[in-house]
């Protein structure tokens, strides 16, 4: 958020802070959420590059389309193991999978919420 907008919102009585602050997440919890989101995004991109539907990916995994949708939405009920396995099945490279973990320490601060 631009600093000027944050000042206007605060002047109007809004509290401005990060999603991590709003949700009360520890640094470790925030990092886990970020990794899960990166893996989910990478999975969707890999599936689309392969021109597979969610149903086709589900078939390859021995799973269901609804489970693939949950994976791509970074649903907390989906294990990171399953996200990584799905990336491998969808043809993602090790470099691409690793990239989901690598930038965690160098991430920009979480988006600020009102």
**CATH superfamily membership of 24-101:** lambda repressor-like DNA-binding domains (1.10.260.40)
Mean pLDDT rounded to a whole number for the chain: 87
Query: Which pLDDT band holds residue 39 (cuts at 50, 70, 90)?
Result: very high
What does pTM read for this prediction? 0.75
Residue 84: the pLDDT is: 96
- Neighbouring residues of 87: CB distance < 8 A, sequence distance ≥ 6: 39, 42, 43, 46, 96, 97
**84-111 per-position pLDDT tens digit:** 999 999 999 999 999 888 755 554 444 4
Q: Determine the Cα–Cα distance for residues 86 and 22; give it in Å rounded to an integer.
A: 31
Residue 105: the pLDDT is: 52
Domain locations along the chain: 24-101
Residue 104: the pLDDT is: 55
Distances in Å between the Cα of 63 and the Cα atoms of 25, 66, 69 are 31, 9, 11
């Amino acid at each position: 958020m631009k600093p000027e907008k944050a000042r206007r919102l605060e002047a109007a009585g809004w509290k401005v802070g990060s999603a991590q602050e709003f949700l009360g997440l520890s640094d470790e919890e925030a990092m886990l959420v970020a990794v899960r989101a990166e893996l989910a995004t990478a999975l969707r991109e890999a599936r689309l590059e392969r021109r597979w539907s969610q149903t086709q990916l589900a078939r390859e995994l021995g799973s269901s389309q609804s489970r693939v949708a949950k994976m791509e939405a970074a649903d907390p009920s989906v294990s990171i193991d399953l996200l990584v396995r799905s990336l491998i099945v969808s043809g993602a490279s090790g470099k691409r999978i690793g990239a989901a973990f690598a930038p965690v320490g160098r991430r920009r601060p979480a988006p600020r919420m009102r």
